[in-house]
Structure 1
């Protein structure tokens, strides 16, 4: 009989619950109970409790002893803090990446923005998120700065729900034109201009924080 470690079950629960939060299946403010999640996932309560503890550290779940455990609302300080960090890190990534960008990188950005526009027009939020990630990832990876990359990876889940809301709304289509402007600035070698445009692009999520 093959032994399956508790850590593997915990990681399975963590992946599934995080995905449910980011996809909106577990909406902001939703109360969660480990016994119900365990039944839903076909797991015991222990790995689910461990997964919820990890998600609490990530800021996606919050709890008050003897009171509640729930999906973190969008208007909490951790979400606002994460947004500010993500916005700054993406702008810094652009500033660092532009001097080394070539035609391959610019082509990748244009192709990603094309897929982004197509997905938005079709109302495919998941595909829009993936294409938006691909667009911004060109600069993030091109920055060559491991701290920038790690910070963005660490805090992106906290703002992912805001991105989903933005791309599900008609106003999200404005990002297509901003992406074009960012690409043009990169092609012109204007690192500061690209950074300002990227920062402005991410600033639109702050409007959703005020609405929720």
Structure 2
């Protein structure tokens, strides 16, 4: 397994959640490719931590479908499987639909402005082909109603399944994401207009624009 070079070490007081996020993001952004073997010793050296938090993070990643572990053999980055993405997408869509329904009409002007600003960043990133920036901006848009909902159970479900969907979404934004700009605008304005049902419907539709018809093992 080729380990990325450069500034990657982290403070040794790093919490296990931080190790999990670093490994999760490396899988989502393609640093570690589908099918690639992950060795806890090499990962621990890369992050500058002991093997224990790495092994715990790998277990969490396995629960979320990002890695596949064969007991006594190896841990590999999972392939982008169509059915797994479809299942996770449907769960994610339902969670965002719920968050939007609960918060439409309750968001402050500042929160709505943050969503609009994030969508402008998203549009610019899609136009320039900056997939990483597009993903960050997209997450910022949807995070506003999620955080405003205060629903911890909902957040826990998203934390588990969102990375699997984000990895597939990365492939979509690398080809085209312009349709999402308009959907985001509709979502924001419906939330501003206190149209909870309309906004919830758009939120659900946004996530179902993510195709999952074909496996992708790149």
- TM-score (norm. length: structure 1): 0.82
2:174 to 161, 168, 179: 168
2:168 aligned with 1:179, yes or no? no
Alpha-carbon shift at residue 24 of structure 1 (Å): 0.6
State the alpha-carbon separation in 1 of the partners of residues 18 and 97 from structure 2.
34
Indicate how the Cα distance of structure 1 residues 192 and 11 shifts in structure 2: closer, same or farther if over 3 A, else same: closer
Contact 1:9/1:43 (CA < 8 Å) preserved in 2? no
State the alpha-carbon separation in 1 of the partners of residues 15 and 186 from structure 2.
45
Indicate how the Cα distance of structure 1 residues 40 and 142 shifts in structure 2: closer, same or farther if over 3 A, else same: closer
Contact 1:82/1:156 (CA < 8 Å) preserved in 2? yes
Report the 3-state secondary structure (helix = DSSP H, G, I; strand = E; otherwise coil) of the residue aligned with 1:183. Answer: helix
Note the residue ranges of structure 2 that are not aligned, 5 or more in a row. Answer: 1-11
Indicate the residue corresponding to 2:7 in structure 1: none
Indicate the residue corresponding to 1:210 in structure 2: 214
Note the residue ranges of structure 1 that are not aligned, 5 or more in a row. Answer: 1-5
Indicate the residue corresponding to 1:126 in structure 2: 132
Indicate the residue corresponding to 1:200 in structure 2: 205
Report the 3-state secondary structure (helix = DSSP H, G, I; strand = E; otherwise coil) of the residue aligned with 1:210. Answer: coil
State the alpha-carbon separation in 1 of the partners of residues 69 and 47 from structure 2.
21
Alpha-carbon shift at residue 36 of structure 1 (Å): 4.6
Structure 2 counterparts to residues 39-188 of structure 1, below 5 A: 40-41=46-47, 48-65=54-71, 68-75=74-81, 78-170=84-176, 172-188=177-193
Contact 2:103/2:149 (CA < 8 Å) preserved in 1? yes
Indicate how the Cα distance of structure 1 residues 186 and 53 shifts in structure 2: closer, same or farther if over 3 A, else same: closer
Report the 3-state secondary structure (helix = DSSP H, G, I; strand = E; otherwise coil) of the residue aligned with 2:68. Answer: strand
Indicate the residue corresponding to 2:37 in structure 1: 31
Contact 2:116/2:188 (CA < 8 Å) preserved in 1? yes
Contact 2:86/2:212 (CA < 8 Å) preserved in 1? no
Alpha-carbon shift at residue 169 of structure 1 (Å): 1.2
Indicate how the Cα distance of structure 1 residues 73 and 145 shifts in structure 2: closer, same or farther if over 3 A, else same: same
| More off after superposition, 72-81 vs 154-163 | 72-81
Structure whose residues are more often helix by fraction:
1
Count of residue pairs brought into register by the alignment: 205
Contact 1:166/1:208 (CA < 8 Å) preserved in 2? no
Larger Rg: 1
